[in-house]
């Protein structure tokens, strides 16, 4: 509508001008080179307009003729550029589909048509990574360093390639350079944090965590937890050499994360050693309310050195009241009751755990109770046999590694705060995170994970190994030869009697009485609560006593 009005306005002005010239007649005379031209003013004006239009037309024609070579060249470049972008698009699709041959072919076409365009270099690098040509991939990433718009991308690609070949020094240098050029890069900040934690440089790691939090690369809760973990690691490292620094770091870690067990235990024990019993008890009680852990219970019972067993039992009772019916509180109270020789209280306390399926530690406590109260080697051996098949207790687990000690960093994947206090799964496997890449090219992530796992191929030596019983052999307690029995008891002894709880002593059955059937029966039970284990005699020989002591030494009994 506006354009129509403008057109009408222009035509109206032209009409007004024509009428104005028609109302004012006049003559125009031109004398040039012996020629004389005489005409009216209106005709002269029309002639001027026509001449101007002819001049413009001639200029446009001259420009068109003179610009034909450049126009042809521009059209050719546009066609090549279009074909180059088409090759890049098809190459990226081929990479996503996992076709290295097609990706390499399209990368060659993109290079021929587009040259050193950023997307062309990226396609070449990805095609080389997909085909396993690391040298060509690094060459493409190094070429990206020459352009400001692709420099950071090239640094990341070189970082990934350096980490793949195990050159951590070069990888750290690339990450440092990337952080200097672009401080908000998440991958570079994460990489620097991993390098600091792997080297045990806890202060530099805390600086990296604070920088990530300031740049909003991590949630506030996550950054707070990570700072607490690093402070706990620093406190554990400085405990022997710098106790003041260790205590300050442990106290700060407990403020940031009250549920962090290692920090709370260290702070509680160090405060107890200094005589600050009240503050140590307060910290340990706060940690116990957050998460129940045997180390917290042990530190709480040991908060005052030189106490009697009855005083420890009273503190265990106080601790158990903070989390009623908690299994760890029950085990702590039962262990303290055994040491205080309050055997009735220990049995009453352990009864709920035994009814619900006794774990390894519960069975070991029952073995300790039987030995302390009655000295019954047969019942002790029975409970030790049950412990070999009982459900596992909670432990520190990270990336398929089970440890009895907390570590700030997983020795398998290098993750910070990877260890979790939980019941280990039946089948452990490595769940380390895969390596990152420029465009999710993770085909060679396994070698680096295996290289990291070379230092930790099995659980630490301090962790007791508990091999499962062989299907073709009876449990360890069943291989002991039974004592001779009178003839009238032979019939009753030949019948297997399942043991529910260690109440009256059941006559043992001969070791050769169908071990395959007993083993099959034990394997068929999903929850091993009742075990077909025969009682052994209460008077073991020297060899049996030695086996018993070795078994008990393999397990950590609370106390």
pLDDT digits (tens, 9 = 90+) for 417-462: 999 999 888 655 444 444 444 444 434 444 444 444 444 433 333 3
Token match 């990206």: residue?
144
Q: For residues 402 and 190, what is the distance between their CA atoms, to the nearest angstrom?
A: 25
Distance CA 529, CA 195 (A): 47
| Residue 40, strand partner residues | 27
| Rounded Cα–Cα distance for residues 295 and 521 (Å) | 37
The two tokens of residue 459 are 């659980």
Exposed e or buried b for every residue in 532-549, given b needs 16+ CB within 10 A?
bbbbbbeebeeebeebbe
What pLDDT does residue 549 have? 55
Separation CA 53–CA 59 (nearest Å)? 10
Using left for φ > 0, alpha for ψ between -120 and 50, and beta otherwise, residue 200 falls in: left
Q: Is the separation of the CB atoms in 256 and 206 below 8 Å?
A: no
Token pair for residue 413?
């994947």
Could you give the CA distance from residue 156 to residue 137 in angstroms, rounded to a whole number?
Answer: 12
Q: Considering the entire predicted model, what is its pTM?
A: 0.64
68: tokens are 């034909």
Residues 6+ apart with CB under 8 A from 368: 338, 557
**β partners of residue 30:** 37
Strand-strand pairing, 420-422 and 395-398: antiparallel
Q: How far is residue 401's CA from residue 395's CA, in Å, rounded to a whole number?
A: 10
pLDDT more than 90, % of the chain: 40
- For 549-557, the CB contacts below 8 A with 24+ separation are 551/384, 551/476, 552/364, 552/367, 552/384, 554/464, 554/465, 554/466, 555/360, 555/361, 555/364, 555/387, 555/464, 556/404, 556/464, 557/335, 557/361, 557/364, 557/365, 557/368
What pLDDT does residue 427 have? 57
| 3-class SS of residue 248 | helix
For tokens 């420099």, what's the residue?
151
Residue 308: CB atoms within 10 Å: 10
SS3 label, residue 448: helix
Q: What is the pLDDT of residue 481?
A: 36
**Other CB atoms closer than 10 Å to residue 10's CB: what's the count?**
10
Distance between CA 303 and CA 276 in Å, rounded? 9
Long-range contact pairs involving 15-22 (C-beta distance under 8 Å, separation at least 24): 18/42, 21/45
Interval 228-266: pLDDT, tens: 999 999 999 999 989 999 999 999 999 999 989 999 999
Q: What angle do CA 407, 408, 409 make, to 5 degrees?
A: 95
Record the tokens describing residue 235, joined without a space.
């406190």
Q: How many whole angstroms separate alpha carbon 351 and alpha carbon 344?
A: 11
CB neighbourhood size of 8 (10 A): 10
Cα distance between the two ends of the chain = 94
Q: What is the largest CA-CA distance in the chain?
A: 161
Q: Which residues contact 497 (CB under 8 A, 6 or more apart)?
A: 506, 507, 509
Q: Which stretches of the chain score pLDDT less than 50?
A: 429-545, 548, 551-552, 554-559
Number of neighbours of residue 136 by Cβ within 10 angstroms: 17
- Give 191's contacts (C-beta < 8 A, 6+ positions apart): 159, 171, 172, 175
Cβ-Cβ contacts under 8 Å for 406 (sequence gap 6 or more): 261, 262, 396, 419
User: Exposure pattern of 89-125 as b/e (b: 16+ CB <10 Å)?
Assistant: ebbbebbeeebbebbbbbbebbbebbeebebbbbbbb
């Amino acid at each position: 509508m506006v354009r129509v009005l403008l057109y009408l306005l222009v035509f109206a002005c032209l009409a007004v001008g024509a009428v104005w010239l028609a109302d004012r007649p006049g003559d125009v005379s031109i004398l040039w080179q012996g020629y004389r031209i005489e005409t009216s003013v209106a005709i002269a004006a029309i002639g001027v307009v026509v001449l101007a239009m002819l001049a413009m037309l001639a200029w446009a024609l001259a420009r068109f003729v003179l610009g034909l070579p450049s126009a042809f060249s521009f059209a050719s470049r546009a066609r090549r550029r279009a074909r180059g972008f088409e090759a890049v698009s098809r190459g990226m699709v081929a990479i996503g589909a996992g076709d290295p041959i097609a990706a390499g072919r399209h990368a060659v076409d993109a290079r021929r048509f587009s040259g050193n365009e950023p997307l062309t270099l990226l396609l070449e690098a990805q095609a080389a990574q997909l085909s396993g040509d690391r040298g060509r991939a690094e060459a493409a990433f190094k070429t990206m360093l020459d352009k400001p718009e692709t420099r950071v991308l090239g640094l990341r690609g070189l970082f990934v390639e350096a980490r793949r070949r195990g050159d951590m020094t070069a990888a750290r240098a690339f990450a440092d350079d990337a952080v200097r050029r672009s401080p908000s890069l998440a991958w570079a900040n994460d990489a620097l944090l991993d390098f600091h934690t792997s080297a045990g440089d806890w202060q530099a790691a805390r600086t990296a965590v604070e920088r990530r939090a300031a740049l909003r690369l991590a949630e506030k809760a996550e950054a707070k937890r990570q700072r607490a973990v690093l402070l706990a690691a620093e406190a554990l490292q400085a405990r022997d050499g710098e106790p003041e620094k260790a205590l300050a770091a442990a106290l700060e870690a407990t403020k940031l994360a009250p549920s962090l067990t290692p920090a709370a235990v260290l702070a509680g024990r160090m405060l107890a050693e200094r005589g600050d019993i009240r503050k140590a008890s307060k910290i340990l009680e706060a940690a116990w309310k957050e998460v129940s852990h045997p180390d917290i219970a042990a530190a709480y019972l040991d908060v005052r050195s030189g106490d009697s067993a009855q005083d420890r039992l009273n503190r265990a009772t106080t601790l158990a009241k903070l989390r009623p019916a908690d299994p760890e509180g029950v085990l702590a109270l039962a262990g303290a009751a055994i040491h205080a020789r309050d055997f009735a209280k220990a049995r009453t306390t352990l009864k709920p755990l035994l009814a619900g399926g006794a774990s390894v530690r519960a069975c070991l406590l029952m073995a300790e109770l039987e030995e302390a109260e009655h000295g019954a080697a047969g019942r002790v051996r029975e409970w030790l046999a049950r412990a070999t098949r009982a459900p596992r207790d909670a432990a520190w687990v990270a990336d398929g590694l089970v440890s009895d000690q907390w570590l700030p960093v997983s020795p398998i994947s290098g993750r910070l705060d990877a260890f979790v206090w939980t019941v280990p799964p039946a089948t452990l496997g490595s769940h380390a995170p895969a390596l990152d890449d420029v465009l999710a090219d993770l085909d060679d992530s396994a070698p680096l994970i295996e290289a990291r796992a070379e230092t930790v191929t099995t659980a630490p030596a301090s962790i007791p190994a508990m091999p499962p019983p062989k299907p073709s052999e009876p449990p360890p307690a069943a291989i002991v030869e039974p004592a001779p029995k009178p003839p009238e008891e032979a019939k009753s002894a030949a019948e297997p009697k399942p043991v529910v709880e260690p109440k009256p002593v059941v006559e043992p059955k001969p070791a050769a009485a169908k071990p395959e059937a007993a083993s099959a029966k034990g394997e068929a039970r999903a929850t091993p609560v009742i075990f077909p284990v025969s009682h052994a005699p209460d008077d073991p020989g020297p060899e049996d006593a030695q086996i018993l002591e070795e078994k008990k030494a393999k397990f950590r009994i609370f106390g």
